[in-house]
Structure 1
Amino acid sequence: MQKVIERFLKYVKVDTQSLDDMEQVPSTEKQKNLAAILVEELIEIGAADVKMDDHCYVYATIPATTDKKLPVLGLIAHMDTSNAISGENVKPQIIQNYDGKSIVLNKELSIFLDPSEHPSLINYIGQDLIVTDGTTLLGADDKAGVAEIMTLAEYLLNHPEIKHGTIKIGFTPDEEVGRGVDFFDVEGFGADFAYTVDGGELGEIEYENFNAAGGKVEIQGKSIHPGSAKDKMLNALLLAMEFQSMLPVQQNPMYTENYEGFFMLSNLEGGVDFAKASYIIRDHDKVKFEEKKARFLKIGDYLNDKYGEGTFTVTVKDSYYNMKEKIEPHIHLIDNAKLAMEELGVTPIVVPIRGGTDGARLSYMGLPCPNLCTGGHNYHGRYEYISIQSMEKVVEILLKLVESYSK
């Protein structure tokens, strides 16, 4: 399974960051660079029906090796990386036989990956870790999933004696900006059900996720020279701060965990005359989710009443919904994932996703699609890392799943 590491180290060096608020899919042309590499590799290893469409979706088929009628299993990962921190010129480092001490990511910039701040590191003493150089993210979210699926694909194509049904592979763009399946061809994909390989710690299985929406607040202020501003100026930035102050303080992501929802101010820009803010709104509970959206809009109404109609323009747009209700009728997906892990000595960890995956939206598009671990930690930042042994184990888990649907 060493090829999973070779692939991963190759993929992370391709900059595939996606961008918010872009109309086109993919949001960045550079995502097509990795897609083209994957198409070439899939053809080389002998996959069938390999193609990249106009929107940068990569599809392929691993043909069945038996005439027995079996369900068609799909495996999906996304190619883009977060734009929270640079993904350009990624320089991965391998820490062999990790000793449990602080890891120097960048001596020159005094950037360290310390177990006192990242206690999960202690679980990997004696293992080999892939880390960043402290200046970029690593990209395990989700190039680890891409590498793991590709490695499984090559293994199965090289071992036709392993009897299995048809397996469909899909790689998507723009997952990080919430548009990963906008143009995913569910019907053409042809799977009965699928897994996204886009989770974290080894053993994680996720089939509950946030209901999610994006909120936009545009504020029209009145810019007046400060020397004559009394009773005339409306500072749009201060009004934006007033809007934020009316949201529940404890429903901020820095104070929440597990099933607790939140409002998050993700961007604020502008000046005295005009400002705009972007929010993400999340809750696992559908009723609480609807209440949060209503509250968000109500604040806008209140402030317009206070400062004048048209001062605030507040909009909310749903992004995705909790996949739980779509997965429970197909609970075999969770049961088989647990069994595959247990047979390989991995403890299953069923956790709610405090975010979303392509699988959440796909589940509502008719393709039940829970999420599996990749082995990574600390996504979207310079302290991201992944265990080599975990990545190799994920490939084994995927193989076990293929076998479980071949009986």
Structure 2
Amino acid sequence: MRTAQEYSVAERLIRYVQVDTQSDPNSSSFPSTEKQKDLSAILAKELQAMGIGDAHMDEYGYVYATIPANVEHDVPVICFCSHLDTAPDCSGTNVRPMLHRQYDGRDLILPDDPTQIISPKAYPYLQKKIGDDIITASGSTLLGADDKSGVAVIMDMAQYLMQHPELKHGAIKILFTPDEEVGRGTAKVDLQKLGAQFGYTLDGGEAGDLEDETFSADGVEIVVHGVSVHPGTAKGILVNALKVAAAILDRLPKNEWSPETTEKREGFVHPVQLSGIAEKASIHFIVRDFETYKLAEHENRLQQIAEQVVAEFPGATMDFVVTEQYRNMKEVLDKHPQIVALAKQAIEANGLTVKTEAIRGGTDGSRLSFMGLPCPNIFTGMQNLHGKHEWISVQDMQKASDVLVTLAQLWAKPNA
């Protein structure tokens, strides 16, 4: 059992979140922002300093590293993965992390904007963390624990294993990815170079959480083509594409079929962007469901609504384009039950109750699973993601590191 002084997760997270790695959904480059490589370079250097000789950043900002096996028998090669970037939803520039030692249960008033209050009444999990050390941002930015807490946990695990060769394990691969928050985290990953058979992302919430199921996901773009003409002579001729697009949005159901009206295993259709001019307008949607076959049902319903609206505007036409985004990783993980079983065993061995949940979203693990690296998601403790109220318990991160150390050893047992 490690002492508090033997963990590096808090110090690492506090350093890492001060490096601006916000990704950009409107960029066509890869990574979408060059500044993500700033953290990649730091991590590669720190891994090398631990004695991990092959640690490096590639041209795309991915970090690859191998903790060598210290057992003689054959052991499956496992990978631990987290993403480097922070979400574009809230500023990640000039993050000022705050460490609240031995949290006493009162509201956390963030000093840079006292109207930003993290309250245990609003966030019940915080009530369970009295006595823990809590890290928040200062009120003007997100924290970036999503997913730099995962990065910190993996780095802490790597340091501990490198310092304790008496702990027996097979080869362990480390992978840090850019651009997860904009849906491109695996776009340039080289799984052949990585060389792992199974993996785990560290991108989850409450201590004990183990997620083996995600949404399946598509994107839909509806492009409305209107008829443009000078507004001074427009009567009977002009068809305003923006108005057609607005009418499509207005026709969507108000009390169902949206993120704000669904929960648990219900799917949804969600407009995320509207842009255009009178001649041409585009609406971007995300379509989500746990059952992959239901995506087509949602898309057919959306297309019918859009076609009915467009028909009410003579002269307007539309294109309806569906793009596959990711699929429910459970379809792959169910074929390899030992991956989740060993994770459950490692979590329970560290005194936690396992809570297996389905993610109403996706992770890099969703795509990696279908690319040939089955990859469930393990907790780090991060809460209230993508906003100024983001926070995390240091002790939750420490537990996550312990789980990885245990998991590495469990995979090395001959009957794993």
| Alpha carbons of structure 1 residues 218 and 40: separation in structure 2 relative to 1, 3 Å | same
Alpha-carbon distance between aligned partners in 2 of 1:9 and 1:309, rounded to the nearest angstrom: 57
- Three-state SS of the structure 2 residue aligned to 1:241 is helix
Offset of 1:273 from its aligned partner?
4.3
**Residue 22 (structure 1) aligns with:** 27
Residues 120-131 of structure 1 mapped to structure 2, 5 A cutoff: 120-131=125-136
Which of the residues 275, 278, 288 maps onto 2:281? 275
Select the residue among 194, 207, 227 that pairs with 2:212: 207
Indicate the larger mover: 390-399 or 112-121: 112-121
Normalising by the residue count of structure 2, what TM-score does the alignment of the two structures yield? Answer: 0.93
Give the counterpart letter for 1:142 in structure 2.
Answer: D
Aligned to 1:48: 53
2:217 matches 1:194:
no
**1:83-98 paired onto structure 2 within 5 Å:** 83-98=88-103
Give the alignment of 1:6-405 within 5 angstroms: 6-106=11-111, 108-222=113-227, 231-249=236-254, 250-308=256-314, 311-405=317-411
Identify the range of structure 1 (219-228 vs 205-214) with the bigger mean alpha-carbon deviation: 219-228
1:318 Cα deviation from its structure 2 partner: 0.9
Whether contact under 8 Å (1:247, 1:263) holds in the other structure is no
C-alpha distance 257-70 of structure 1, shift in aligned 2 (>3 A): same
In 2, distance between residues paired with 1:173 and 1:108? 30
Q: Is the 8 A contact 2:177 2:186 kept in 1?
A: yes
SS in 1 for 2:312: helix
Q: Judging changes above 3 Å, is the alpha-carbon distance between structure 1 residues 105 and 223 closer, same or farther for their aligned structure 2 residues?
A: farther
Aligned to 1:170, the other structure's residue is in SS state strand
Distance in 1 between residues matched to 2:164 and 2:23, nearest whole Å: 36
Identity %: 45
1:243–1:300 CA contact under 8 A, matched in 2: yes
TM value normalised by structure 1: 0.95
CA-to-aligned-CA distance 1:180-223 (integer Å, 9 cap, x gap): 11111112211110101111111111111011111222333456
Q: Is contact 2:112–2:138 with CA below 8 Å preserved after alignment?
A: no
Q: Could you say if the C-alpha distance between residues 126 and 361 of structure 1 is closer, same or farther in structure 2, counting changes exceeding 3 Å?
A: same
Q: Helix, strand or coil for the counterpart of 2:54?
A: strand
Aligned-residue offset at 1:334: 1.3
Q: Relative to 1, partners in 2 of residues 1:306 and 1:353: Cα closer, same or farther, differing over 3 Å?
A: same
**Alignment CA distance shift 1:108-1:282 (3 Å):** closer
Range moving further from structure 2, 249-258 or 217-226: 217-226
| Unpaired segments ≥5 residues, structure 1 | none
Local SS of the residue matching 2:210: strand
3-state DSSP class of the match of 1:352? strand
Checking the alignment, whether the CA contact within 8 Å between 2:241 and 2:277 is kept in structure 1 is yes
Q: CA RMSD in A?
A: 1.9
Displacement of 1:157 in angstroms is 0.8
Letter in 2 for 1:130: I
The 10-residue stretch of structure 1 (94-103 or 373-382) with the greater mean CA deviation from structure 2: 94-103
Tell me, in whole angstroms, the C-alpha distance in 1 between the residues paired with 2:274 and 2:119.
Answer: 31
Q: What is the CA–CA distance in structure 1 between the aligned matches of 2:134 and 2:231, rounded to whole Å? A: 56
Q: In the aligned structure 2, how far is the partner of 1:318 from the partner of 1:226?
A: 39
Partner secondary structure for residue 55 of structure 2: strand
Identify which range, 11-20 or 310-319, moves more after superposition.
310-319
**Deviation digits for residues 97-139 of structure 1, max 9, x if unmatched?**
2222221013645221122322222111221111111211111
Greater displacement, 345-354 / 48-57? 48-57
What secondary structure does 1:70 align onto? coil
Q: 1:11 to 1:184 in 2, by over 3 A?
A: same
| Preserved contact between residue 193 and residue 367 of structure 1 (Cα < 8 Å) | yes
Q: Deviations over 1:363-402 (max 9, x none)?
A: 1111111111111001111111000110111000111101
Select between 351-360 and 98-107 the one with higher mean Cα deviation.
Answer: 98-107
Question: In the alignment, residue 99 of structure 1 is paired with which amino acid?
Answer: D
TM-superposed CA distance for 1:268, in Å, is: 2.1
- Are residues 114 and 227 of structure 1, via their aligned partners in 2, closer, same or farther at CA, if it must alter by over 3 Å? farther
Report how far residue 300 of structure 1 moved: 3.5
Paired residue type of 2:104: D
Question: What is the rounded CA distance, in whole Å, between the counterparts of 1:292 and 1:170 in structure 2?
Answer: 35
Q: Is the 8 A contact 2:116 2:389 kept in 1?
A: no
Mapped contact 1:303–1:312 kept (Cα < 8 A)? no
Q: How many residues align?
A: 407
The gaps in structure 2 that reach 5 residues or longer are 1-5
Distance (whole Å) between structure 1 residues aligned to residue 243 and residue 316 of structure 2: 16
Give the counterpart letter for 1:118 in structure 2.
Y
